[in-house]
Each structure stands twice: as C-alpha cells, then as structure tokens.
Amino acid sequence: MPAPFPARVDALGFIGLGVMGEPMCANLARRCGLPVHAYDLAPAPLARLGEAGVHAAASVEAVGEAADIVFLCLANPEQTEHVAAALARARQAGARPGVLVDTGTTGVRAARELAARLAEAGILYVDAPVARMREAARDGTLSIMVGGSAEAYAGLAPYLRCMGSDLTHCGGTGAGQAAKVLNNMVLIQTVHALAEALAIGRGLGLDGRVLFEALGLGSADSKALRMQGLGHLVPGDFPRGAFSSAYARKDLGLALDAAAMAGVDPAGARTTASLLDAACVAGYRDDYYPVFIKLIERANQ
C-alpha cells in the first residue's frame, strides 16, 4: 500500500546537482515559495545555488531531516537506489521525507521496485523523469512525465511547474519512466537514421546541410533533424558534457528492458544499442551521442 501524500508541506529537498539538477533546483527554489535544502557530492553547485536561496545540506540524511518532499536527479539507477535507501533509513529513524520524486531516468523495473521498498518505510515514490535539453532545465521549460496516483500528481504539480512547462500524468507507478525511456528510444533511433542518411548523401556527393534542409521540407522533418541533425551531425560537433554515448546507451538499455517486460522484440533499438556500444569502445564514450556517425562513415570508407 503506497504512503499517502502529506497533508502539509513546509520544505523541499533536492539531491543531485549536475548539468540538469542544478538549474532545476535553482528554479524550484526561486519559484516554489518554500525553503529548499540540497545536497551533492560536489561543493561548487551548492555554493552557486546559495545565491538562489538554497540551503546547503551536509548529507543525504540531512536533506531527509529538513524536507517533506525530496527530488532526486541522479545519473543512473544505482545512484538513485543508493540515495533512496539512505532516505528510507533516515525516515525510519524519524526524519521527515514523506515523498521521493525521481526526476532521473531510472527505468520501469527499478521504479516499481523502489516504490514497493520505500512504501515499507512510509515514503511515497513518484517517478517524474524529465525530457529536453539543459537549456530547458535553465529556462524551466522541461517536459516532465509523471507516474503515480492522481492524488500524488495533483500534490506535486505546483512544484513540478517550477521546473517544467509541460506536465503529463502518464499513469501509475513506472508509467513516467516508461514514457521517458520510449521517448529516448525513438529519439536515438531517429538520430541513427539521420546519421545513416547523411553518410549516404555525402557518399553520393550531396552537401549535408542541403540534404537535411530538403528533408525538413518534407515528411521526414522532425525536431531531431533540426537539433541533432543540422545542429550537430552536419557540422560534426559532438561536445563532451552533453548527453553522452554512455548515457544514451544506458537509456536504450532501460528501453530494451521495458520491451522485455512487455514481451516485444525491438529489433531497431537493439541495432542502435550495438552502434552505441561500438562508439563507447572506439573512445567516444563521453562525446555527444550523435558522434556514432564517425563509425558509420568509417565503415563505408
């Protein structure tokens, strides 16, 4: 039985202040009207967030002692499970957190397992992974996909709107994670298709920008064509610090696991996952994931 949504919320917490988490926490603190207590292993984002009025906590447990609702924005399921376990122990020792909101990409299986374990500690787990780029995190215009009860969604929506402009209540526990990993699966496969089209076009003597602009005027147009295609594949710009090949492979792995849970064989996603594996082995692990075009073009030389 899931824990109830708290009748009163006096303070919020935020753990995980990376590329996405830091601006999300800043927007939450500026807009929510409540104290926000935050923690990260790195001191620099905590120092910067002090200018937004965020209170720096000394530990995960200290956030749990100060906050009724704690938002997590962590890099992988393992980190999320580790922090969730620490908050569960803190709750059982008398700390405050009644709700844990997971804004990272954790996956359907982990979300359902976390919800069951946290319920035993009296904590309500809600999955609310975010989509769009770091600019949207800074602007507070993220898309947020929520999995949880209608009551939990209604209670959290005012705080989620501090960080996102588009909220979707996808269904029960794990539904937000399902929507997020499938979003990323479709996006990454689309970029794979664009990379192949660009390699073929160049092989036929077409200018890449001309090709993609022509595609954009037809039914092949998409946000991926305009952002990842024209913005990164055509100029060959694959910066580190963006959504890396390793992160893309992690998310595709979560989508493949979701497919297995659903009894579906996602052949296209498996092919793209293999390409990302090869990109990581080739030394592009930390580069922006459209870098896999280098492997496609190299294979055709």
C-alpha dihedral (297, 298, 300, 301), degrees to nearest 10 = 120
- Amino acid at position 186, single letter: V
| Partners of residue 168 on adjacent β-strands | 145
Dig out the tokens for 253 from the structure: 């792995």
Contact 215, 225 (CB under 8 A): yes
**What span, in angstroms and rounded, lies between the C-alpha atoms of 279 and 31?**
40
C-alpha dihedral (186, 290, 78, 159), degrees to nearest 10 = -70
Catalytic residues: 180
Angle at 254 between CA 252 and CA 255, to 5 degrees: 60
Angle at 292 between CA 291 and CA 297, to 5 degrees: 105
